[in-house]
A and B are shown apart, each in its own frame.
Chain A
């Protein structure tokens, strides 16, 4: 694992910095990212326009008219000290129901045959793991999940799809994720959830947040179709 002894501060233009904790996709590195993210949210510094926890860094967008670069660095260093105790916050576990295969998961059979297993085994392995939400990005609410079983690591599709329907659950390389809105995509689609993980009708439009833990639960096609949206 490539975790730095001291985080690196990297300039991102004149309104952003990136605090980089390592050079790998790794749970311990991401935990440091999430801790700094949580600490900065708690502090509510004026002039911070947005925070973006990613796999191994925290991107901070700021307004230099409200918060100078120097003051931002001081605040981040103080926040890093405050998180030194390495306290692990217990994130609530979210369960996402998924109907696997068929028209909802058109690539399930291809993924299974790529690994020389049955579609049922792919589903079993995909549902057995507890995933960490490393970051949200690509489209509103799209979770990048770490913790995919090595036996399911699959290179991306050669031909990305122009439209992947919202709710689709995909696998690409070492990751798995859920498409919140219809968008282009190159991941293998193995199933679909009836949960609208990005829904502007809800008070909190986002079902999934960075830093949380997540599990998938297999459901039948009938259960998918009769799913009630809260």
Chain B
């Protein structure tokens, strides 16, 4: 059996694919990788379909042993991957031998990295996805975060691995990233000054960040008519401004309405 054995998980590690689409009318969040590009490139590197399930590692501190010879790639934030103590490049396909141990350190910038493995994580497909939805307790590995001692079976090999991803195409995981936004759908609830404040200020990421959302802290955003709006559909990437006049970026596990 090709599998990987989890030795250490760090703050949070979950199985994610591109997400659970087509069930939002029934209140099921999309979930899926927070950094879709990193997961997809990881899958391409190891010869998987882009949407195969990988492990999303938060912050770092992750360690796993390969049970069998396996092609793998670590993408996303630079968590300084090592294979049996020797540093290896991330965003690159490597071949592990049976018994090899992969460890990830803590990233300086960026929060999440992805372990893509040839064949993908062979966990049950629930509502067309293998993504873990923690609050709902389903998807991924038994509906929960990974724990030390878990053994993850791998799926069938799909295609041929690619050796490396062009380094110049690796996205920057900067200390102060600039995020692009498209105004709407309810920007008319914010004053022109409020919009100007939002677009010209530096916002700090607070400790209230998880797979549902990222609460920011910075200059107050002026609202036109209070923040009482009839609940509408929401999706990852949406920016909400609550009664405290601070923005929150909705993330992969965000509610379908809010």
Is B a genuine binding partner of A? yes
A12-B238, A200-B126 given as contacts; is B135 within 8 A of A52 (CB)? no
Question: Are B235 and A61 touching (Cβ within 8 A)?
Answer: yes
A209: chain B residues at CB < 8 Å are 25-26
Residues 90-109 (chain A) with a chain B CB within 8 angstroms = none
Segment at the B interface, from A70-78, A114-122, A131-139, A150-158: A131-139
Residues in A with CB closer than 8 Å to B182 are: 11, 13-14
Contacting residues, chain B, for A50 (C-beta < 8 A): 21-25, 30
Which chain A residues lie closer than 8 Å to B177 at the CB level?
none
Q: Nearest-CB distance from B242 to chain A (Å)?
A: 15
- Do A54 and B27 have beta carbons less than 8 Å apart? no
Task: Find A25's partner among B137, B230, B257 (CB 8 Å cutoff).
Answer: B230
Cβ of B12 within 8 Å of any chain A Cβ, yes or no, is: no
B: contact size bracket? 20 to 34
Chain B residues whose C-beta falls within 8 Å of the C-beta of A16 in the assembled complex = 233, 235
Which residues of chain B have C-beta atoms less than 8 A from A24's C-beta?
230
Beta-carbon contact of A137 and B238 below 8 Å: no
Q: Is B256 an interface residue (CB 8 A)?
A: yes
CB distance from B225 to the nearest CB of A (A): 11
Interface residues on A, range: 35 or more
Name the B residues within 8 Å of A13 (CB-CB). 182, 235, 237-238
Mark each residue of chain A from 184 to 208: 1 if its CB lies under 8 Å from any CB of chain B, else 0: 0000000000000000100001100
CA distance A54 to B127 in the complex (A): 21
In the complex, what residue of chain A is closest to B124 when comparing beta carbons? A200
Determine which of B21, B127, B258 lies in contact with A49 in the assembled complex, contact meaning CB atoms within 8 Å: B21
Q: Taking A12-B185, A12-B235 as contacts, is the C-beta distance between A140 and B27 under 8 angstroms? A: yes
**Complex interface bits, B1-36 against A, C-beta within 8 A gives 1, otherwise 0:** 000000000000000000001111111111000000
Against A, the Cβ 8 Å flags (1 = close, 0 = not) of B163-177 are 000000000000000
Q: Are B184 and A10 in contact (CB under 8 A)?
A: yes
For the complex, what is the distance from the CA of A59 to the CA of B231, rounded to whole Å? 11
Q: How far is the CA of A6 from the CA of B179 in the complex (A)?
A: 33
Q: Is A170 an interface residue (CB 8 A)?
A: no
Bound Cα distance from A209 to B53, whole angstroms: 29
| Given A11-B185, A25-B230, A135-B257; A51-B235 close (CB under 8 Å) | no
Question: What CA separation (Å) do A37 and B24 show in the bound complex?
Answer: 12
Do A12 and B136 form a contact, CB below 8 Å, given A50-B21, A53-B25, A140-B26? no
Decide if B231 touches A137 in the complex (CB within 8 Å).
yes
B224 to chain A, nearest CB (A): 14
Q: Is the CB of A52 within 8 A of B185?
A: no
A54 and B238 form a contact (CB under 8 A): no
B138 within 8 A of A: yes
Residue A210 CB within 8 A of the other chain: yes
Residues on B with C-beta less than 8 A from A135 are: 231, 257
Give chain A residues whose Cβ lies under 8 Å from the Cβ of B235.
Answer: 12-13, 15-16, 59, 61
- Given A12-B184, A12-B235, A18-B185, A138-B257 contact (CB < 8 Å): yes
Within 8 A of B (CB), among A1-43: 10-18, 20, 23-25, 37
Taken together as a complex, chains A and B put the C-alpha atoms of A11 and B235 apart, in Å, by 12
Contact of B25 among A10, A12, A52 (CB under 8 A): A52
B residues 42-96 touching A (CB-CB < 8 Å): none
Query: In whole angstroms, what is the CA distance A142 to B136 when docked?
Result: 12
CB-based contact A51/B25 at 8 Å? yes
Contact code string A212-224 (vs B, CB < 8 Å = 1, else 0):
0000000000000
In chain B, what residue has the closest Cβ to A22? B230
Partner of A138, one of B24, B27, B184, B185: B27
B233 touches A12 (CB 8 A): yes
Chain A residues in 8 Å Cβ range of B103: none
In the bound assembly, the distance between CA atoms of A138 and B137 in angstroms comes to 15
Given contacts A11-B184, A12-B238, A55-B230, are A206 and B22 in contact (CB under 8 A)? no
Q: Which residues of A contact B256 (CB under 8 A)?
A: 52, 136-137
In angstroms, how far is the closest chain B Cβ from the Cβ of A128?
A: 26
Chain A hits for B26, CB < 8 A: 136, 140-141, 206, 209-210
In the complex, A200→B138 CA distance in Å? 9
Least Cβ–Cβ distance between A116 and chain B, in angstroms:
27
Residues of B near any A CB (own CB < 8 A): 21-30, 126-127, 135-138, 182-186, 230-235, 237-238, 255-258
Task: Enumerate 7 A-B pairs (CB-CB under 8 Å) in ascending A order.
Answer: A16-B235, A24-B230, A56-B230, A59-B235, A140-B28, A181-B135, A210-B25
